[in-house]
Amino acid sequence: MNLVSEIRSKIETGAIIGGVIGLGYVGLPLVSSMARNGVKAIGFDIDPAKAGMLNSGKSYLETVSDEEISYALEKGLFEATADMSRLKEADFLIICVPTPLDEHKTPDLSYVEDTSRTIATYLRRGHVVSLESTTYPGTMEEVVKPILEQSGLKDAEDFYVIYSPEREDPGNKDFKTHSIPKVVGADQPEALELAMRFYGKFIDTVVPVRNAKTAEAVKITENIFRAVNIALVNELKVIYDRMGIDVWEVIEAAKTKPFGYMPFYPGPGLGGHCIPIDPFYLSWKAQEYDMPTRFIELAGEINISMPRYVLEKTAWALNHHASKALNGSRLLMLGVAYKKNVNDQRESPAFPLIRLLEEQGARVDFHDPHIPEILPTRHFAELGGRKSVERDSLDIAAYDAVLVVTDHDAIDYALVAESAKLIIDSRNVMARFPDVAKKTVKA
């Protein structure tokens, strides 16, 4: 049997074993989805504490339940480890490690490179390697494959590589990993066929594209599209506010158009691991082709200015509604997660906003039912360790103003409407309480 037939047969008989490297927001739902569909996976993470927790049936992410992990363990379909030598036991290796930017907005591929080097150490004939981390077009071809070939094995002779972008949307209850169509691209037709068969076992729809770099471009296009459209609506928010028009009302009406319009919503700024970061992967790569990426730069500029806009609105609101200055005001921020119903604080716009407010002399407490304590970060070290005011101790009326930053469902907005002296609302959650419109300022 030739190599492709061997791998194909493993997939068809169910003998194939997945190896998911990086058990975070992307990797963990992936192994859970595989287990639910009877596909066995070994999960690899550099952090042994994570592997230990998972092996005892505990999830560390709100988006994957303990039950899901226990189910996979009990069925013998999942096991986590920090022992990378066990990569040899898996057949289809999926890389889901972080792809951040460094302080100069340059792609930091060190996690992908380290993982590729580790795989190269244990690479064997018959391995298929799929990169799922978001990155610029050309990464598989120019970075991952050459590292894998340092093992002495040859792509398309001894092993196969593919790129398949991850489209996970943590916290989105309408879509699970299996129901989100999955794009796959490979330079070799055999690799594409194997990827279609493998992912087809636990993903409802697999969408093939002609090569890895097209698949890499698909992902980056999707996230640039979001970043640019969010920037557009943030810009419109500021303009319409000056004109006395409520952007939220405009969007609600505009989205009744059944074609040619798609709603995006303004907010206090971009957050998360993807939208503020991924577009700059393309900007960086485009320089190699002497191509500017003006839309990306402009969107970045507008989105990054949003916390300052919320600061200005807060100062204005305190001044006009309470004859108070920011300096000395007590503020309660609702939500510090970067988006609703998740405990993910990465790149959250809440952090620059807290810093800006405190630079002006305000005293800021926060309440976030999903984030009991702010984790230390490189850029906002001073906020690390700050604790959420628990619901039972919340004295909303004691604050000069309440700022809605994240529209978590678990926040009691009726209580906010009843007790707050003044509300600065960057998410339009208070629109459902028309009685408090007079003390609400949209930001």
Catalytically active residues, by annotation: 274
Residue from 6, 47, 83, 359 in contact with ligand NAD (CB under 6 A): 47
| The pairing of beta strand 128-131 with beta strand 160-163 | parallel
Gap between the Cα atoms of 34 and 77, Å rounded: 8
Contact between 114 and ligand NAD (CB under 6 A)?
Answer: yes
Q: C-beta of 95: minimal distance to ligand NAD in Å? A: 8
Strand locations in 55-194 (E): 78-81, 92-95, 128-131, 160-163, 182-185
Contact between 274 and ligand NAD (CB under 6 A)?
Answer: yes
Of 308, 300, 309, the closest CA to residue 356 belongs to 308
The footprint of ligand NAD on residues 16-35 (CB under 6 A) is 21-27
In a 3-state reduction of DSSP, which class is residue 206?
A: strand
Q: What is the DSSP string of 210-256?
A: SSHHHHHHHHHHHHHHHHHHHHHHHHHHHHHHHHT--HHHHHHHHTT
Contact between 170 and ligand NAD (CB under 6 A)?
Answer: yes
Q: Quick count: other Cβ atoms within 10 Å of Cβ 290?
A: 6
Q: Which two tokens stand for residue 89?
A: 């036991």
Residue from 31, 35, 97, 430 in contact with ligand NAD (CB under 6 A): 97
Nearer to ligand NAD, 18 or 170 (CB): 170
Nearer to ligand NAD, 273 or 313 (CB): 273
Residue from 59, 99, 303, 314 in contact with ligand NAD (CB under 6 A): 99
Which range of residues in 38-46, 139-147, 257-265, 306-314 is near ligand NAD by CB under 6 A?
38-46
Q: What are phi and psi of 337, to 5 degrees?
A: -65, 155
Nearer to ligand NAD, 99 or 406 (CB): 99
Q: Quick count: other Cβ atoms within 10 Å of Cβ 34?
A: 28
DSSP-derived letter for residue 159 is B
Contact between 279 and ligand NAD (CB under 6 A)?
Answer: no
Contact yes or no for 224/404 (Cβ under 8 A): no
Q: C-beta of 136: minimal distance to ligand NAD in Å? A: 11
Closest residue (Cβ) to ligand NAD?
24
Q: H or E element: which one contains 13?
A: helix 3-13
Contact between 134 and ligand NAD (CB under 6 A)?
Answer: yes
Contact between 347 and ligand NAD (CB under 6 A)?
Answer: no
Question: Interface residues with ligand NAD (CB under 6 A)?
Answer: 21-27, 44-47, 50, 96-99, 111, 114-115, 133-134, 166, 168, 170, 273-274
